Each structure stands twice: as structure tokens, then as C-alpha cells.
């Protein structure tokens, strides 16, 4: 195997062994603390434009299967691991991790001191980097902020038939698990592009709206805030991750970038109405600024136990709710799966088709 390097804009260089396929992509270097679920993580469209570092030292030991991808393509710009298992052991495994990266055209680097790398990221906060065959770059790392949502969203509406309420899923880079959760609850789902207008959505006659997760800075979607506001004021709405941020922004709040984000499967979140703490799966770099929330319209429903950031909102009079975490993800516990049931009951009480899970 060939020697490779992760070169950071801050000057640090990390050496390792190249895997996957070099693509000369410059990306934000981030880290995820999950111990399992690497297949779901690397296929999450929210990682578009990012070079992902796995904190857990051994990746690939149970291989990859044909069922658990979260999207049809791998959007991540690169992957960094400490140790890579090339001989996985699992009855569903159809390929190993490096083969997946090769087929997806994504570069990887293994044998890296990921503990030292995470310390650098935590020190510098937002850090761009590039995986290369040489330990230095001829040019700099100036890169335009691409509109990643457009790259991962569907181009045309796609409908999944079912007998329950009709939910329009606005696709900013949705995870397959969100669609699966809705279909499991007997919903008929229409996935639409991120730029669908209020009038286009109205023509679909939805019973409810779900704003999905997705990559990048939510302010990139500022031209669509007015349409999002009209949509959320007209239909029962649930926002997840980026969708949560977009609901807040459309109703006048602000967002800010975290120092190094929340990415992992064990983030504790407290529901303020009950005091109950749930363990959640998260993947985001931006949060809603609490001081910017209009409390005559919204109440904070969830809060992060570690850093006290806003993890969920609920409108005081309209059937609008949003969560920063992923209720469809089961990083072990399935504590927050009930949020989908609450959303669907709101759909029914607002006049949608009767919720009837068989």
C-alpha cells in the first residue's frame, strides 16, 4: 500500500497509508465519536464537503452490507482512521471498508494517530485539509464554500406509496432512515427537491411536511426562508437537524457555527417539559442561537446536557416542532423514536388522514 498524508491548512501533517481513491478534494476536517455504524456515517449526505475522522480506533471489523447505506451515493470528501480491518467478519458483509471507498471514489488514510488529530481539530476548531501523496501542497487551501445541499438533493419528486397520511419530505440531503421511519408508520411519502416552492408543495396536497437533515451552512438557503415560513405555517411540520435550523431561521432566529460540532452516537439531550434525558445520534456543525429565538412564537423543547445548546423547538400555537438530533437513528437506544408518532398525531389532529399503523 502507498504512503499518504493528511495536510491541514494550519500546517500540521499526519502520515498514514492510502486507501480508497484520491480525488484532490479539500474539505473541512471533522471527527465522529461513534463506536459503531461506520457504514451509515460515511453514507450520510450531511458529511458532504467534509473529511471525516473516526475517533474509535478500529473501523471495518464487521464489513459493509447491501442494506444499511443512508444514501444512494457517498458524499463525504475523505475518511481518516486509526486502524482498518481488511478481513471483516459478519454474515451480512459483502465488501470491506476500503473497497467501498474505492468504488465510491473517496480517498482515505489509515494508520493515522487519530487522537493527536482530534486534539488539533479541537484546538483550531474549523480546519480545512486534504489527503495527498506528498507531505506538502504547492498551492494554498483557499476553496469556495460550495452549495452542498444542491449536490445531494433529489432533482425530481419521488413518491413512495402507502395507505396512511401523505408526508412531503423536503430533501436537503435526507438519510434513508428518515424515509424508512415514515414508511414504517404507514405514511405515503413524496420526496421533493430542496427548492420546491410553497405553491408546488400545496399542489401535492400533503397532510404534513418534514424538513430533512443536510450538509453545510444553513444560511446558504436564505433565499428560501420565506417559502419555508409559508410552508410551516400551513402544514404540520417536523424539522430534523438542518431542517430544525431552517425552521428557526425562517421564523427570525439566527444560527452560529460550533467550535467542532456534535458528531457521534451518545449525545445526552434533556426534554425540558419532562426532565427526561435521552441518548441521541447527532451530526451537525451549526446550532440555533438561543438569544435570537422569539419566545412569543417558540419554546425550547430540548437542550444539550453537555453544552446547553438548543436541541429542539416547538411553536406555541402552530403544529411545528423541530429537533437538532436524529430521532430515526438508533445508536443503541431508540429513546427519541416517539417524536415521529407525535408528529403524525399532529398531522391527524390537523385534518390529515387517520394514523393507523398495522
User: Any catalytic annotation for residue 70?
Assistant: no
Residue 290 bears catalytic tag: no
Contacts of 121 (CB under 8 A, 6+ apart): 29, 30, 31, 53, 127, 260
The b/e string for 193-204 (b: 16+ C-beta within 10 A; e otherwise) is bbebebeebeee
Residue showing cell 401523505: 166
Instruction: DSSP letter for 62, please.
Output: T
Has 285 been labeled as part of a binding site? yes
Instruction: Verify whether residue 326 is a known catalytic residue.
Output: yes
283 annotated as ligand-binding:
yes
Please tell me whether 111 is known to bind a ligand: no
Annotated active-site residue in 28, 70, 187, 241:
241
Q: Is 18 annotated as a binding residue?
A: no
Contact 6, 80 (CB under 8 A): yes
Cα–Cα distance list, 87 to 79, 90, 96 (Å): 19, 10, 7
- Rounded to an integer, what distance in angstroms lies between the CA atom of residue 14 and that of residue 161? 49
- The cell numbers describing 55, all together, are 475517533
- The grid coordinates of residue 51 equal 473529511
As a whole number of angstroms, the distance between CA 74 and CA 85 comes to: 20
Residue 109 to residues 14, 298, 351, Cα–Cα distance (Å): 9, 44, 52
Which residues, 6+ apart, have CB-to-CB distance to 137 below 8 Å? 7, 130
Q: Find out whether 108 is annotated in a ligand binding site.
A: no
Residue indicated by cell numbers 461506520: 38
Q: Is 306 annotated as a binding residue?
A: no
**From the candidates 244, 251, 284, 326, which is the catalytic residue?**
326
Tell me if 286 is assigned to a ligand binding site. yes
Residue 204 marked in a binding site: no
Catalytic amino acids?
Answer: 241, 326, 328
Q: Which residues are annotated as a binding site?
A: 46, 214, 216, 242, 245, 283, 285-286
Q: Which residues are annotated as a binding site for L-glutamine?
A: 46, 214, 216, 242, 245, 283, 285-286
Amino acid at each position: 500500500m502507498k504512503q499518504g498524508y493528511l495536510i491541514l491548512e494550519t500546517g500540521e501533517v499526519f502520515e498514514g497509508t492510502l486507501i480508497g481513491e484520491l480525488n484532490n478534494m479539500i474539505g473541512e476536517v471533522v471527527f465522529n465519536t461513534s463506536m459503531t455504524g461506520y457504514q451509515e456515517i460515511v453514507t450520510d449526505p450531511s458529511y458532504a464537503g467534509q473529511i471525516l475522522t473516526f475517533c474509535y480506533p478500529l473501523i471495518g471489523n464487521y464489513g459493509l452490507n447491501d442494506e444499511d447505506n443512508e444514501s444512494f451515493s457517498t458524499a463525504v470528501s475523505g475518511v481518516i482512521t486509526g486502524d482498518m480491518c481488511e478481513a471483516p467478519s459478519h454474515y451480512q458483509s459483502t465488501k470491506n471498508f476500503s473497497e467501498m471507498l474505492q468504488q465510491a471514489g473517496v480517498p482515505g488514510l489509515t494508520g493515522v494517530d487519530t487522537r493527536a488529530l482530534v486534539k488539533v481539530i479541537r484546538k483550531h476548531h474549523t480546519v480545512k485539509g486534504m489527503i495527498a501523496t506528498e507531505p506538502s501542497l504547492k498551492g494554498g487551501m483557499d476553496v469556495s464554500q460550495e452549495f452542498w445541499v444542491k449536490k445531494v438533493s433529489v432533482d425530481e419528486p419521488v413518491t413512495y406509496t402507502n395507505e396512511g397520511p401523505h408526508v412531503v419530505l423536503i430533501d436537503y440531503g435526507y438519510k434513508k432512515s428518515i424515509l424508512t421511519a415514515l414508511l414504517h408508520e404507514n405514511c405515503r411519502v413524496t420526496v421533493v427537491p430542496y427548492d420546491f416552492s410553497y405553491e408546488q408543495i400545496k399542489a401535492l396536497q400533503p397532510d404534513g411536511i418534514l424538513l430533512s437533515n443536510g450538509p453545510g451552512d444553513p444560511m446558504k438557503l436564505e433565499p428560501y426562508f420565506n417559502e419555508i415560513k409559508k410552508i410551516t405555517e400551513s402544514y404540520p411540520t417536523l424539522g430534523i437537524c438542518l431542517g430544525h435550523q431552517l425552521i428557526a431561521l425562517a421564523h427570525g432566529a439566527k444560527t452560529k457555527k460550533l467550535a467542532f460540532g456534535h458528531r457521534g452516537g451518545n449525545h445526552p439531550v434533556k426534554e425540558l417539559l419532562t426532565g427526561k434525558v435521552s441518548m441521541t445520534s447527532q451530526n451537525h456543525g451549526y446550532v440555533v442561537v438561543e438569544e435570537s429565538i422569539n419566545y412569543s412564537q417558540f419554546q425550547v423543547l430540548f437542550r444539550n446536557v453537555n453544552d446547553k445548546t438548543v436541541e429542539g423547538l416547538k411553536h406555541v400555537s402552530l403544529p411545528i416542532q423541530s429537533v437538532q438530533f436524529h430521532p430515526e437513528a438508533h445508536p443503541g437506544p431508540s429513546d427519541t423514536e416517539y417524536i415521529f408518532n407525535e408528529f403524525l398525531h399532529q398531522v391527524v389532529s390537523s385534518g390529515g388522514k387517520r394514523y393507523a399503523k398495522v
